Amino acid sequence: MNEQLWELYQTVCQEEVRPLGEFVDRLLANEWGAYPKDDILELLREIEGQMLSNIQVKAMEGPRFAEMADEVSEQTQKEFEALINRVEQAFGTG
């Protein structure tokens, strides 16, 4: 994992509370310099994995959350698929 990219994600999305899609757009516009496609994709897959894991943890907190877990997981996967496609297209490989 590219630590610089992870720290940038933490700053922009966690501390500044900016949307992940906006962060990806700014990455692709080279706002903070150029990052390799594989590093960006690895970051997105890591974030997706963490989010899906968090959904499953939350699902164990009660039946109301458990009922929503599959739907929220599916929606999350679709959102990350769209972000990954955006990165692939920006690098001319999608």
pLDDT at residue 14 in the model: 94
pLDDT at residue 94 in the model: 59
Range of the domain at 59: 3-90
Note the Cα 43 to chain centre separation in Å: 7
The answer to whether the beta carbons of residues 33 and 2 sit under 8 Å apart is no
The answer to whether the beta carbons of residues 20 and 13 sit under 8 Å apart is yes
pLDDT at residue 63 in the model: 87
Neighbouring residues of 92: CB distance < 8 A, sequence distance ≥ 6: none
Say if residue 34's pLDDT is above 80. yes
Tokens of 7: 């720290």
Strand partners, 31: 33
Task: Report the percent of the chain where pLDDT is more than 90.
Answer: 87
C-alpha span between 5 and 64 (Å, rounded) = 35
